A and B are shown apart, each in its own frame.
Chain A
């Protein structure tokens, strides 16, 4: 009987020893990033519409980025995250003829919806993860009467990404 207790004690001791060898502390981390999402603000949606333009054009049709005709976008991402924007200077509008129109963009941005400013370098989202973009621009300052009349349309794309992603 005494031997049995010794055997059991040894067995328990072995078990304890084995448990101590595998009981490592493992730190598990997961960095969840809020996906970047764009939403439009206001009645214009994502359409920048210059409306009807009469030929010949001698003064560039223009939409100020802070005007009611501009497109306003709201960006949501990680709080206080640093992001970079790819903002093309222009886009091509195609129409009924062979000659396209060049749209030159005028883009402003801010982490505050009430204070649009120039965008230079990386930008920081607000403490709530917000950033705002205002898009305006202009068309050529000279469009002759030989330009084909009709509807012109094109897509202008702004890309945002997390810095370091």
Chain B
């Protein structure tokens, strides 16, 4: 501050009051010179690429993703496939981006339709269990619809599809089929 006052005094002495105005204005204009007459706006662009998900049926089913509940006696209460123990349980392998979480969803029940009598149905209730390796069927944990699972370091996860059908008395004999969809997504 002392230096500023001194400079003003010197300027006033040699150049008069007019010069003082010039001295005050020039530094102010200098603050805006060049550096902000051109201005760059940097924008960061980001994207996270991950491998697509796939489901591959393998041992335990017929290799085509079909689950065969087998034959059951007419008027029996139910036909079951235990996903933790039955060799008929459909083993499916999910493959995707390592370490990513995946959500699995499926309908809680599927209507199976009599092949010869379209209006005749029975209800299939799925039972899904999952584990990180195909050798872990017996210890696989229940995987209810809406579950989140982790694909681990190899990007894989296995699940077994079982379930049951309830066959009420008087149900028409024959073959019943239906489509059961499982949806997985990151």
Contact = CB atoms under 8 A, between A and B. Distances in A.
Interface string A74-97: 010000000000000001010100
B42 interface: yes
A48 B97 CA distance: 23
Contact of B50 (A30, A137, A149, A154): A149
A157 B42 contact: yes
B45 A48 contact: yes
Interface string A141-165: 0010101111111111111111001
Interface string B13-56: 00000100110011011011001111111111111111111000
Contacts of A49: 46-47
Interface in A14-34: 26, 28, 30-34
Most chain A beta carbons < 10 A, residue from B41, B49, B97: B49
Given A28-B22, A56-B52, A36 B39 contact: yes
Contacts of B22: 28
B43 A53 contact: no
Chain A binding surface, main DSSP class: strand
B32 A152 contact: no
B186 A54 contact: yes
A93 B48 CA distance: 11
A51 interface: yes
Interface residues of B, number: 30
A50 B45 CA distance: 8
A163 to B, nearest CB: 10
Most chain B beta carbons < 10 A, residue from A36, A103, A143: A36
Contacts of A75: 39, 41
Contacts of B50: 52-55, 149
A155 B97 CA distance: 26
Contacts of A55: 49-52
B25 A30 contact: yes
A108 to B, nearest CB: 14
Given A32-B29, A54-B186, A155 B42 contact: yes
Interface in A44-84: 46-56, 61, 71, 73, 75
A34 B26 CA distance: 15
Contacts of B51: 54-55, 145, 149
Contacts of A28: 18, 21-22, 25
B41 A147 contact: no
A36 B38 contact: yes
18 contacts: A26-B18, A28-B25, A33-B29, A36-B36, A46-B42, A48-B43, A49-B47, A55-B50, A55-B51, A137-B45, A149-B49, A153-B46, A154-B44, A155-B44, A157-B41, A160-B38, A161-B38, A165-B37
Given A35-B35, A101-B49, 10 more contacts: A35-B39, A38-B39, A46-B41, A47-B44, A47-B45, A48-B46, A52-B186, A55-B49, A153-B45, A156-B45
Interface of B: 18, 21-22, 25-26, 28-29, 31-32, 35-53, 97, 186
